[in-house]
């Protein structure tokens, strides 16, 4: 499989970071950066990571299935994550989650048919003092009210990345 | 929007050691750092023996800021420096404890302070490489850290011949990919080796058999970030800011029903009441306080009447809770404690790695039981069952996640039993 020059460089640099005999240490970062480019951890990504690190595909699969950010299916172009853990819950995170669900017409870990949006209720993302928080792809949005989410959504629909 | 603007105007009660550069323009750049004491501590440390550095850190009474509160000097002293194996430094930047968002600021606003603390630890054990394990969600921080690491290489603070002394150290970032369990040190090390984050049986502890089966210094971001100040100003000076055996300052994350949520740097032993009322501006909307989680979701909750206490590790332990990771979550009089217990348990059920059966099964059962209870389908017997299930997880797992799930539940059942009773007989949740 061909990756972009950027990802190739990233993988090479990652594989050289770990001591001899422990090159496998690069696996999780390699998968996450590949997912950022490909959109998900495809069969090709699994096979390629396995080949480069001298692992079986099964060894890679068992790692993928452990980490909640690694996905074996495509997500939406905008992956919307809403935190409902304690600090966000106490500041309206639950109502926000319900609002976002209605607005996107999606449930937990669902993707819209046109592939534009996917939705996920997430555990604490480290924004407790600026709750409730939403992450879209890797971008943080703090103190999000239903109204502020609607404005954010309009921006995303206009073709913005985040 | 990244984390810019997350740091507030300092409160007069704050004591700014860790945060003293936070409000400077371009605080993350090496030039700003160098203009404000930057990399003077490593220069000093390079002229000290490892024993002298350990003695200084021990005298400082610096305790682990990740949650367990283990004395840092003692931990560093456990590393067998004479071992022929390579040694490593691993930085736990997997900040995931609900209620905690402080390491994020330390990495975003002063990454060089962290790098310098890591260098000092590396100097103590003669480590040649270090790994910054950053949770995957903190992608923008990895970019900031990589930039800072690049600057440090350029100026000769990392690499082959640091400050011309022959000391050699390489530092790498490493991303996690979504797993609370990887904040537990032995699971983190498994993850760093490219595996599922399953905890290791201990002993041996990471100091002896850690990263890549070699001796390893492993501490939290805030712990390392505290070290440069200690080396520059002395362990005694640091210790004197806090209380006995609880040296210095730490970052407290005030969240929940509070008027001024934020990350505040306060001395160890700062009174919790004052923290809530004065620093945080009191309970939001003029309501009364019902309960506080003092150090992240793993800690037993304190009822309002238990909050007259100093925030240090030993006082919290005496009060039957923990200082934990500094996440102070405030709940007002209208909070439903059954719902809080449920939300906390759902989190642990989601994050249990499944390796130990009491945790894997216990968190699932408790989560279902609490959901049914909160929905009005609970019985008197269920209250007892919740307590028993939680009790049966305590101390029966390889890592502390099982305890972390059980302890808050037990404390809520014990201290707020009436709220469970208010949900009996199909009654809708009376708290809104």
User: Would you call B98 and A86 a contact, using CB atoms and an 8 Å cutoff?
Assistant: yes
Distance between CA atoms of residues B413 and B390, nearest Å: 10
Alpha helices per DSSP H over B263-377: 272-274, 313-318, 337-351, 357-372
Tell me the shortest Cα–Cα distance from A51 to chain B, in angstroms.
Answer: 14
Contact B6 A19 (CB under 8 A): no
Dihedral over Cα of B113, B101, B104, A132: its sign = negative
For residue range B110-166, list pLDDT tens digits in order. 999 999 999 999 999 999 999 999 999 999 999 999 999 999 999 999 999 999 999
pLDDT band at B180 (very low <50, low <70, confident <90, very high): very high
- How many angstroms separate the first and last alpha carbons of chain A? 28
Question: Is the same domain home to A38 and A98?
Answer: no
Is residue A101 a part of any domain in this protein?
Answer: yes
| Residues A55 and A83 placed together within one structural domain of the fold | no
* Confidence check: pLDDT of B7 > 70: yes
For residue A44, give its domain range. 5-64
* The predicted structure's pLDDT at residue B427: 82
Minimum CA–CA partner of A36 in chain B: B139
Nearest C-alpha of chain B: how many angstroms from A107? 17
Claim to verify: residue A133 and residue A102 sit in the same structural domain: yes
Q: Determine the residue of chain A that is closest to B134 in CA distance.
A: A29
What is the 3-state composition of chain A as percent helix, strand, coil, each rounded to the nearest 5? 50, 10, 40
| Confidence at residue B430, expressed as pLDDT on a 0 to 100 scale | 85
Q: How many CB pairs under 8 A join A and B?
A: 149
List phi, psi (to 5°) of B88.
-130, 155
Task: Tell me the CA distances in angstroms from B96 to A67, B99, B147, B259, B339, one per residue in order.
Answer: 14, 8, 23, 24, 21
Same domain, residue pair A110 and A47: no
Q: Last residue of a domain, which of A64, A88, A106? A: A64
Across B77-225, where does the E strand assignment appear? 88-93, 129-134, 159-162, 167-175, 216-220
Asked if B85 has any chain A CB less than 8 Å from its own CB, the reply is no
Decide which of A15, A36, A64 is a domain's last residue. Answer: A64
- A82 and A58 share one domain: no
Complete domains list, chain B, with CATH: 30-239 (3.40.50.11540), 249-332 (3.10.20.600), 337-421 (1.20.1440.230)
pLDDT at B1 over 60: no
CB contact under 8 A, B174 and A139: no
Q: Report residue A160's pLDDT band, with 50, 70 and 90 as the boundaries.
A: low
A67 Cβ neighbours under 8 A, 6+ residues apart: A28, A31, B136, B176, B177, B178, B179
Residue B428: pLDDT band (50, 70, 90) is: confident
CB count within 10 Å of CB B118 equals: 28
Residues A131 and A92 in one domain: yes
DSSP 8-state code for residue B258: B
CATH number of the domain enclosing A82: 3.40.30.10
Joined together, the tokens standing for residue B409 give 């539940």
B319 touches chain A (CB under 8 A): no
CB contact under 8 A, B255 and A138: no
Quote the distance between the C-alpha of residue B81 and its chain's center.
27
Q: Is residue A71 part of a domain?
A: no
What pLDDT score was predicted for residue A162? 47
Give the ipTM: 0.96
Q: Chain A within 8 Å of B327 (Cβ-Cβ)?
A: yes
B355 Cβ under 8 Å from any chain A Cβ? no
Q: Measured between beta carbons, which residues in chain A are less than 8 angstroms from residue B276?
A: none
pLDDT digits (tens, 9 = 90+) for B49-107: 999 999 999 999 999 999 999 999 999 999 999 999 999 999 999 999 999 999 999 99
Binned at pLDDT 50, 70 and 90, residue B402 comes out as very high
Burial group, residue B351, by CB count within 10 angstroms (0-12, 13-18, 19+): buried
Contact criterion met (CB < 8 Å) for B175 and A90: no
Q: Chain B residue with minimal CA distance to A16?
A: B172
Same domain, A23 and A51: yes
**What is the rounded CA–CA span in Å between residue B375 and residue B294?**
27
Summarize pLDDT for A30-41 with one digit per residue, the tens: 999 999 999 999
Taking all residues of chain B, what is their mean pLDDT, rounded to a whole number? Answer: 96
What percentage of chain B carries pLDDT values higher than 70? Answer: 99
B 198-237 residues inside an 8 A Cβ radius of A: 212
Is pLDDT above 70 for A95?
A: yes
Q: Are residue A92 and residue A147 in the same domain, yes or no?
A: yes
Residue B194 and residue A63: Cβ atoms within 8 Å? yes
* A47 in the same domain as A11: yes
Same domain, A86 and A19: no
Q: Which residue has the higher pLDDT, A159 or B399?
A: B399
Q: What is the pLDDT of residue B4?
A: 53
Is B59 in contact with B236 (CB distance < 8 Å)?
yes
Cβ <8 Å between A140 and B99:
no
Residue of A71, A72, A126, A143 to mutate, interface with B, max B Cβ within 10 Å: A126
Identify the pLDDT of residue A71.
96
Q: CA-CA distance, B432 to B427, in Å (whole number)? A: 14
Same domain assignment for residues A31 and A85: no
Minimal Cβ distance to A87: which of B140, B174, B256: B256
Counted domains in chain A: 2
Q: Looking at chain B, how many residues does it have?
A: 432
> Distance (Å, rounded) from C-alpha B98 to C-alpha A64?
24
Half-sphere exposure of A69 (CA within 13 A, CB side): 26
Calculate Rg over the CA atoms of chain B.
22
Among candidate residues A64, A86, A106, the one where a domain is terminated? A64
Residue A136 lies in a domain: yes
Beta pairing partners, B331: B291
Better-scored residue on pLDDT, B375 or B102: B102
- Asked if B329 and A87 come within 8 Å (Cβ–Cβ), the reply is yes
Q: pLDDT > 90: what percent of chain B? A: 93
Inter-chain CB proximity A22 and B97 less than 8 Å = no
Asked if A99 and A39 sit in the same domain, the reply is: no
Element (H, E) at B403: helix B401-415
**Mutation site, B93, B102, B105, B137, interface A, largest A CB count within 10 A:** B137
The whole-angstrom separation of Cα B145 and Cα B109 is 10
Three-state DSSP at B129 gives strand
B336 at the A interface (CB within 8 A)? no
Angle value at C-alpha B23, between B21 and B25, nearest 5 degrees: 95
The pLDDT tens digits of the residues spanning A40-89 come to: 999 999 999 999 999 999 999 999 999 999 999 999 999 999 999 999 99
Task: Provide, as residue numbers in chain B, all residues whose Cβ is less than 8 Å from the Cβ of A26.
Answer: 194
Report DSSP letters for B8-54, one per residue: -PPPTT---STTTTTTSTTTTSHHHHHHTTTTHHHHHHHTS-HHHHH
Structure confidence at residue A159 (pLDDT): 67
Contact B174 A25 (CB under 8 A): yes
In a domain, residue A17? The reply is yes
- Predicted local distance difference test score (pLDDT) of residue B425: 84
B147: three-class secondary structure by DSSP: helix
């Amino acid at each position: 499989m061909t990756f972009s020059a950027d990802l190739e460089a990233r993988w090479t640099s990652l594989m050289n970071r770990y001591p001899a005999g422990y090159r496998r240490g690069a696996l999780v970062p390699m998968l996450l950066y590949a997912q950022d480019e490909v959109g998900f951890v495809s069969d090709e990504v699994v096979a390629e990571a396995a080949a480069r690190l001298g692992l079986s595909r099964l060894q890679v699969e068992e790692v993928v299935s452990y980490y909640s950010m690694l996905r074996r299916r495509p997500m939406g172009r905008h992956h919307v994550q809403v935190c409902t853990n304690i600090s966000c819950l106490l500041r309206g995170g639950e109502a926000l989650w319900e609002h976002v669900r209605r607005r996107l017409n999606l449930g937990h870990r669902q993707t819209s048919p046109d592939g534009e949006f996917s939705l996920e209720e997430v555990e604490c993302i480290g924004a407790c003092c600026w709750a409730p928080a939403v992450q879209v792809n890797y971008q943080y949005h703090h103190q999000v009210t239903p109204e502020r989410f609607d404005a954010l959504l309009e921006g995303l629909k206009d073709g913005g990345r985040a | 929007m990244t984390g810019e603007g997350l740091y507030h105007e300092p409160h007069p009660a704050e004591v700014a050691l860790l945060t003293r550069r936070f409000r400077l323009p371009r605080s993350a750049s090496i030039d700003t750092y160098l203009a404000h004491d930057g990399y003077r501590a490593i220069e000093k440390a390079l002229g000290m023996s490892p024993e002298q550095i350990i003695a200084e850190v021990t005298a400082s009474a610096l305790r682990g800021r990740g949650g367990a509160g283990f004395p840092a000097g003692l931990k560093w002293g456990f590393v067998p420096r004479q071992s022929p194996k390579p040694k490593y430094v691993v930085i736990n930047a997997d900040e995931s404890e609900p209620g905690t968002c402080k390491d994020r600021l330390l990495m975003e606003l002063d990454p060089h302070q962290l790098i310098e603390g890591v260098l000092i630890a590396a100097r103590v054990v003669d480590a040649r490489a270090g790994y910054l394990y950053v949770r995957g969600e903190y992608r923008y921080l990895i970019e900031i850290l990589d930039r800072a690491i690049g600057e440090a290489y350029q100026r000769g603070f990392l690499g082959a011949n640091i400050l011309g002394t022959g000391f050699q150290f390489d530092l790498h970032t490493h991303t996690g990919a979504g797993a609370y369990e990887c904040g537990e040190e032995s699971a983190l090390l498994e993850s760093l080796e490219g595996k599922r984050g399953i905890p290791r049986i201990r002993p041996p502890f990471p100091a002896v058999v850690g990263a890549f089966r070699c001796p390893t210094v492993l501490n939290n971001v805030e712990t390392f970030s505290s070290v440069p100040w200690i080396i520059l100003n002395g362990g005694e000076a640091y210790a004197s800011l806090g209380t006995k055996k609880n040296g210095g300052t730490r970052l407290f994350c005030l969240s929940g029903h509070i008027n001024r949520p934020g990350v505040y740097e306060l001395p160890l032993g700062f009174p919790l009441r004052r923290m809530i009322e004065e620093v945080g501006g009191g309970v939001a909307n003029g309501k009364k306080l019902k309960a506080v989680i003092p150090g992240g979701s793993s800690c037993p909750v304190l009822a309002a009447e238990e909050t007259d206490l100093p925030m240090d590790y030993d006082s919290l332990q005496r009060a039957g809770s923990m200082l934990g990771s500094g996440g102070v979550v405030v709940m007002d009089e209208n909070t439903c404690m059954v719902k809080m217990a449920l939300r906390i348990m759902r989190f642990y059920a989601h994050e249990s790695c499944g390796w130990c059966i009491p945790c894997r099964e216990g968190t699932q059962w408790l989560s279902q039981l609490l959901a049914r209870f909160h929905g009005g389908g609970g019985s008197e017997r269920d209250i007892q069952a919740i307590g028993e299930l939680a009790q049966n997880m305590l101390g029966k797992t390889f890592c502390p996640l099982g305890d972390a799930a059980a302890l808050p539940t037990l404390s809520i059942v014990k201290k707020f039993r009436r709220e469970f009773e208010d949900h009996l007989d199909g009654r809708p949740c009376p708290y809104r």
